[in-house]
Amino acid sequence: MNSLYANKIRLIMHLRRHGISDTNVLAAIERVPREEFVPDMFHDQAYEDRAIPIGLGQTISQPLVVATMSQALELNDRMKVLEIGTGSGYQAAILSRLCRRVYSMERHKPLLDIAEERFRRMNLRNITTLVGDGMKGWPIQAPFERIIVTAAAKGEAPRELLYQLSIGGIMVVPEGPDGTAQTLIKYTRVSDNDFTAQELLPVRFVPLLPNVASESMHMEPDLNKLLAWA
């Protein structure tokens, strides 16, 4: 048995033991090759339950967090989902197996360029991307049945995102100061102005920041090598 595949099966069993029971989410994680979304030097760790750096201060989230967030969204194949923080593209690839269309925003253009190339290579045609300020969402495409935020809001979740949910819609977002304990929160929009909130689990994410990252921020040569993939 291929070692990566064996590691993947062990990861699936690990996720089951830690409360991931949605068979569609588990199937998506089994089908999407995480090794394609991590730097070459970390391929042997692709199916460990840990976050991995991808450059520009960003990470690919640990599989248990990806699975927990995906399960909490309660997705079906008719839904339109907004993702804030494309990063490596791994979470978007998982979502693309679970919903009708993914709209994914990223403030770092170099990361988005790499993610888009991965989507093309994997023939993921139901992902639409945008370089932009994720805190403002994607108003022209709203409302969304589901929203997922892969960076931590320092205070409450941005109201502009909450109000881009459809009635009955769900948003999953980490909240808490950078470098300290954060909590994954599941919001449900129950009416025009009312939302419920449920705490899911402690997490640690990079901070949710406004605006598009400066165009002067380029990938250093070592990061280009770090992010290279065959």
Number of CB atoms found within 10 A of residue 211's CB: 11
Residue 18 sits at the vertex; the CA angle it makes with 127 and 88, to the nearest 5 degrees, is: 30
Please give the positions annotated as active site.
61
